Structure 1
Amino acid sequence: MPDLRTWAVTLVAGFAGAALAALAGVPAGALIGSTIAVIAVAGAGLRVALPAPLRDLAFATIGVSLGSGIDERIFRQLDAWAISLCILVVSLVATMAVSRLILTRGFHLDPETATLASAPGTMSNAISMAAAGHGDATAVMFLQLMRLLALLIAVPPLAVHLGGAAPGAADAGAAMPLPAFALLLALAVVLGLLGTRAGLPAASLLAGMVVSAASHATGLVHGMAPAWAVFAAFATTGAVLSTRMSRVTAAQVKRYALAGAATVATAIVLSLGFAVLAQAATGLSFAQVWIAYAPGGVEAMAAIALSLGHDPAFVAVHHFARIFALVLIVPVALRL
């Protein structure tokens, strides 16, 4: 039976936190404010949850917004993107190797648990593999959730401090007509549902991005996603991400907090280092490259790029590439 009261409490908290953070001028305020507000509500002892269709609708909306920024200029940057993607793969291997070493030698976790907890950016896949019998599923879930939450909160202010938001880029262009937006969103939701059933990662986000990019590239649709819809999607996404943290217990925090802090610090330092290398090799914006390299979830990192005005297509492509690369890398690492 649907828990309407829980859904209402979660949404009210998320949108209130999103509005307050946005009014305060916090970078990516809607996303961060919603996340913190819902975590606070959960910490107060209230149940938090959101229905899967609402989550998919929010992810599809972000995908449509990402795709609306894609045009013919993307083809002039493919060489730089290819170089950056190659460096990204090297950064994944380095991050997993160093984090695994820290967790096994410093915190005495078994190799399988350390490997899955170190996978930077495939939380659902890592947790499902742990639940199937590889390592300690509880430790993997906590360490992956801690990384996701820490990066969600840390990346926007750090990106602004290190490279700044792209002035006005997030607001560039008029909004597309509402019927066109509704049609793109409906197509994205349907295709995302089919993709999810087929096992595609972040299927709703990917479907929204592909549908919108194709429509804009062919000239069928012009304009950006409506600002109110993007704000609502950010607020809902933050609430969805924070409901996952409500599963964490005090015992897990006590046992794994230091290990989580060590892996988060390792991931941030290594991603910054490889972003410096990629920026030097491609000449792209450092903040944009680092958001693409930061090992958070694709939905959260793409939303952050969008809200800060950096090229969301660049970030989304890198995070999808990260997912597919890790699908190949993690099984090999487990066998080592």
Structure 2
Amino acid sequence: MHIDQITRTAMTLAVGTTGAVAMSLAGFPAAPLVGAALATSALAWSGVKLYLPTRLRDMGFLVIGSALGSGFRHEILGQVGGWALSLILLCLSIYATIAISRLILMKGFGKDSDTALLASSPGTLSLALSLAADGRGDATAVLILQCMRLLILSAVLPLGMIILGINPGASGGPTVDLAALPLIAVLVAGAAVSWLIAKRKFPAAYLLGGMVVSAVAHVTDLVHGMPPEWLRFAGFCVTGSVMGVRFTGIRPADILRLAVASIASVGAAALISMGFAGVTAALTGLPFGQVWVAYAPGGVEAMAAIGLALDFDGAYVAVHHLCRITFLLALIPWMARRRNTA
């Protein structure tokens, strides 16, 4: 890296960590993630150029994925089949979220169909931006609306838990830390698998790779435990700071211009996911807070990290967000083609 990139990386991490510590001291749920996201976003909005190396970002996601994977146990294999109804309702929730958010952006804020569709796609930022770069819709508007979606949901979801009186979960996952050698082995193997997944352009590759390797290691009793707290804290800080970095180079005037549209579309999406989560919780007996985090239409890494930070069942949350990615990878191109051939 150049000296300028090193300086900006150090500044980004310092600001993100400061925000994370401040939120932690205030006792805010998912404090490291939310604090880092808000602090770095505020700095980026002021015009400061932030930076995080891709490898550092990937390592943060890898740690979160490895921690999520530690929640997989033998009993999980028998439970997955029972999640079928929850997964079906998740897909219906995603379709409803996109349809309503898209309608709001088109009818309420005059966005064209492609821009509204790509901006309403929850959790596939890279896919949305790649389609926008190919000439579908307003790429700048898609970037801003997607980034605002991630930030708003990451901040509001834990706050909503407090307002609604939802207590953090009790996942029953490991409470001990992995020893040094097993930890290194899980992270190295996770990085290798993640690299292979990333080569296939699959979203959230390092979160997924870390989760898969850790899950297999725990289900087969090769290891027991999760990354130590200090490492999880660092992973949360990096994941939160990534949200702020995405605002670098975006003019504050453009953010303000789209602020109301962002709040309206994200608010509708949050309410829709909350409604479907309520129905799912009533039908399955699963904790409402856990289902809501699994259904929340934010970034996969951020929502998975929030589920982990709130101590909900990591396996349940992770499987649902993996299902969401897979469903969206098929749904968004189909909806875009359908629109163009209509």
Q: Deviations over 1:82-123 (max 9, x none)?
A: 110100111111111111111111111111111111112211
Q: 2:141 aligns with which of 139, 142, 167?
A: 139
Q: Is the 8 A contact 2:45 2:252 kept in 1?
A: no
Q: Which amino acid aligns with 1:216?
A: H
Q: Deviations over 1:13-32 (max 9, x none)?
A: 11121112112211000001
Q: Which residue of 2 aligns with 1:288?
A: 290
Distance 2:233 2:316 in 1: 21
Q: Deviations over 1:43-94 (max 9, x none)?
A: 4443211101111111111111011111012134224311101001111111
Q: Which amino acid aligns with 1:235?
A: C
Tell me by how many angstroms 1:170 deviates.
8.1
Q: Which residue of 2 aligns with 1:248?
A: 250
Q: 1:123 aligns with which of 117, 120, 125?
A: 125
Distance 2:47 2:333 in 1: 38
* TM-score, length basis structure 2: 0.94
Q: How large is the Cα RMSD of the aligned pairs? A: 1.5
Q: Deviations over 1:225-274 (max 9, x none)?
A: 21111011001111112110223212312332221111011101100110
Q: 1:94 aligns with which of 96, 111, 117?
A: 96
Q: Which amino acid aligns with 2:284?
A: T
Q: 1:313 aligns with which of 297, 312, 315?
A: 315
**1:44-63 residue pairs with structure 2 within 5 A?**
44-63=46-65
**For the structure 1 residues 114 and 46, does the alpha-carbon distance in structure 2 shift closer, same or farther, using more than 3 Å as the test?**
closer
Q: Is the 8 A contact 1:18 1:31 kept in 2?
A: yes
Q: 2:77 aligns with which of 75, 78, 92?
A: 75
Q: Which amino acid aligns with 2:61?
A: F
Q: Which residue of 2 aligns with 1:177?
A: 179
* TM-score, length basis structure 1: 0.96
Distance 1:153 1:221 in 2: 33
**1:1-336 residue pairs with structure 2 within 5 A?**
1-2=1-2, 3-162=5-164, 163-167=166-170, 169=171, 172-334=174-336, 335-336=338-339
SS in 2 for 1:134: coil
Q: Is the 8 A contact 1:159 1:291 kept in 2?
A: no
Q: Deviations over 1:141-185 (max 9, x none)?
A: 111111111001011121244321025x58852111111101111
Distance 1:317 1:78 in 2: 9
Distance 1:18 1:254 in 2: 25
Tell me by how many angstroms 1:188 deviates.
1.2
Distance 2:174 2:300 in 1: 23
Q: What's the % identity of the aligned pairs?
A: 46
Q: Is the 8 A contact 2:49 2:249 kept in 1?
A: no
Distance 1:45 1:116 in 2: 26
